[in-house]
Amino acid sequence: MFTKWQSVLMGAVALIGMIGGELAAAEATLDSGDGTNSTVIVSKRLDFDYSKHTAVFDGDVVVTDPRVRILADQLTALFNTNNQPDMITAVGNVRIEQENRTAVSDRAVYSIRSGLLVLTGKPKVYQAGNVLSGSRIIFSRDDDKVKCEDSRLLIVPGQGGGTDDLMKLKR
């Protein structure tokens, strides 16, 4: 069970690499031992289905990592036959906060194998007063590219940052 639990956390960390409230019923911590590399996933419920190779964090999900914070109504991790995370899906009021950049959408899907993070459902990325929006925003982990379909980019002069910072994917 520890291996599968650790895989869920590593999958969440992989999602985090792309981009409070009451004590919840489910809380998981992955710590490197030095206290600087901890990831905590908190939700109201956590359901594992070993036969379907899934773990579902449901209700007020908060993923906190030194590099990013993710909030969603639900986060689902799908595993391959080797019990390694294959795909991570966050749905409902998705918010990804990283340094001075925030992405919001109805749904975020991260494929670990392809390295693609796809935001859909009114996705927007905010940074330094600039706003990128469209019908679908796709971040590519491996080549630091961003693709936005039906795009609209609002650039606010004098706010710092700029489009280079907005488009660069932090790892």
Domains defined for the chain, CATH in brackets: 2-122 (2.60.450)
CB 110 within 8 A of CB 132: no
Beta strands in 65-164 (DSSP E): 69-79, 85-98, 101-111, 116-120, 124-127, 130-133, 136-140, 145-149, 152-154
Q: Which two tokens stand for residue 92?
A: 């409902």
Residue 162 — very low, low, confident or very high, per pLDDT cuts 50/70/90?
Answer: low
Q: What is the rounded average pLDDT of the residues 4-16?
A: 45
pLDDT digits (tens, 9 = 90+) for 125-142: 999 899 999 999 999 888
User: What is the DSSP-derived secondary structure letter of residue 121?
Assistant: S
15 Cβ contact partners less than 8 Å away, ≥ 6 residues apart: 63, 70, 88, 90, 108, 110, 117
Give the separation between CA 155 and CA 52, rounded to whole angstroms: 45
pLDDT digits (tens, 9 = 90+) for 87-104: 999 999 999 998 888 999
Q: Tell me what the pLDDT averaged over the chain comes to.
A: 78
